[in-house]
Chain A
Amino acid sequence: MEEELFTSGRNLPNIDPSLQIWHWPISVYLFLGGLAAGLLFFAAVFTVIKKEEETPATVKYAVMIAPIALVLGLLALFYDLTHKIYFWQLYTTVRIESPMSWGAWVLLIITPLSMLWVFSYWKEVFPKMDLKFGFLKKFQAFVVKNRMNMAYVLIPLSVVLGIYTGILLSAFNARPLWNNAILGPLFLVSGLSTAAATIILFSKSKSERSLFSKIDIALIVIELALIVHMIMGYWAGSEVQLEAMQLLTNGEFTVMFFVFVVILGLLLPGLLEILELKGYKVPVVVPAILILIGGLVFRFVMVEAGQLTRYLY
């Protein structure tokens, strides 16, 4: 029998006995950032392929959530900073190796861009609200004219934002649960899936809803495959990764992960969407809300569980 014992002589709040530096605002931000990235991506793509007429919720209505999500997400990030008055230091430098620097700069561009996008549809979304000032009207005409250009910029930016929410975690080699390259694509796909669910909630057109149900089913299948790959990655990994995996497969977060994320957040809504497309009467609100909750829980699980994992020495 081999026994091993560690005794730490430290007394660092937030670090001992396990790291607790990133709290709920980070999980909330990762969710909102992924959601906004997905909404902007779909709005931009359906504009570029000139399908605005068929997908009004995608390009006009659901996308209104994007700037709100980004602003709330930024507030959450700001709330979690401990040296807040120096936050502007983020914008005095570009650090290629720091995912957070990438994120800060992308957010600086994509947040106003998302507002301009919503503003470009102001007249159609709120026909009764008159833009009182002449310069606002002129500005709106300018934004409407440049909508296609915005779409071209938004496609790469929203993909970077969506992937960044995952890479922010996977770049930390010190936390074995996060140090898995699949997290970038996984968070992107999950963000796209929550965006598709939001579009389904907003859409009043049956054809748009069924289009996004199909897209969402494809995204769910991809996400499940990526989760399998993520687990396989840990499974084939070193001792620290095996220990990290156990938090998800037979540990503290197993119920949260498998029940709320995999079953209630992916399998069940996927099944309901398939049934709905086959003609069964399923209120589309149900799978959409399940996906949104599953996406949020997934980020909480990853942020919280990741901080429990570390190197053994």
Chain B
Amino acid sequence: MRYAMVIDTKKCVGCSDCVVACQTENNVPIGYCRDWITERVEGAYPNLELELRSERCNHCENAPCVRCCPTGASHIIEGGIVLVTPDECIGCGACIESCPYDARYQHPEGYVDKCTFCHHRLEKGQLPACVSVCPTKCMYFGDLDNPNSEVSQLLKARKHKTLAPEAGTKPHVYYLI
């Protein structure tokens, strides 16, 4: 089992529905977010290219946040999901410093918080909140170890990338380009 998310940048319109769905589902405090939209404009006017992508924790295979955590609060569970145990987190900030994606934040209660791939929903057989609400259906979620899953098929068929692969983190959120 290796969970992965595939996001089609050609279909994303940057509506931020995924952001709001996540905040509602996970009771994210006001002023914070576990996922966000990045807008990247490239080129020289008038030949501009726009890329929209919904970003979050990449649930890296080689997760620097897990390696640098001094207490083991940051850990990887079955399916490759990176989680934080609030009662083991001392709020030292090392994991935040270690993340090339700045995907973590300090919760107002002190511990470090981040995307969980909606682990609690997966247990019930549901999709992550962000994936389930996307109005353009640009997000896909599934098991990379299963060659017949939707995500495996998409990655086989389409050109794709991960973010900052040079950081050596082996991210598991893929972007179709």
Contacts and interface: CB of A to CB of B under 8 A. Distances in A.
B64 A172 contact: yes
A15 interface: yes
Contacts of B92: 80-81, 100
Contacts of B152: none
A142 interface: no
A13 interface: yes
Contact of A173 (B44, B110, B168): B168
Interface stretch (B29-37, B115-123, B126-134, B141-149): B29-37
B173 to A, nearest CB: 12
B71 A95 contact: yes
A15 B96 contact: yes
Contacts of A10: 33, 36
A12 B89 CA distance: 19
Interface string A5-21: 11111111111000101
A311 interface: yes
Contacts of B105: 12, 14-15
Contacts of A90: 70-71, 90
B155 interface: no
Contact of B91 (A9, A82, A99, A101): A82
Contact of A82 (B36, B87, B93, B97): B93
B73 A89 contact: yes
A78 to B, nearest CB: 9
Contacts of B87: 86, 89
B69 interface: yes
A307 B97 contact: yes
Contact of A238 (B16, B37, B38, B166): B166
Interface in A109-134: none
B94 to A, nearest CB: 5
Interface residues of A, number: 48
User: Which has the most chain B C-beta neighbours within 10 Å: A97, A98, A238, A311?
Assistant: A98
A9 B20 CA distance: 12
Given A86-B90, A174-B64, A15 B110 contact: no
Contact of B100 (A11, A87, A311): A311
A250 interface: no
A171 interface: yes
Interface of B: 14, 16, 19, 31-33, 36-45, 48, 64, 67-73, 86-94, 96-100, 102, 105-106, 109-111, 163-164, 166-168
Interface of A: 1-15, 19, 21-22, 80-84, 86-87, 89-90, 92-93, 95, 97-101, 103-104, 171-175, 238, 307, 310-313
Nearest 3 A/B pairs, CB to CB: A82-B91, A83-B91, A83-B110
13 contacts: A4-B41, A15-B105, A21-B106, A80-B92, A81-B91, A81-B110, A82-B91, A82-B93, A97-B68, A98-B68, A100-B68, A172-B98, A174-B98
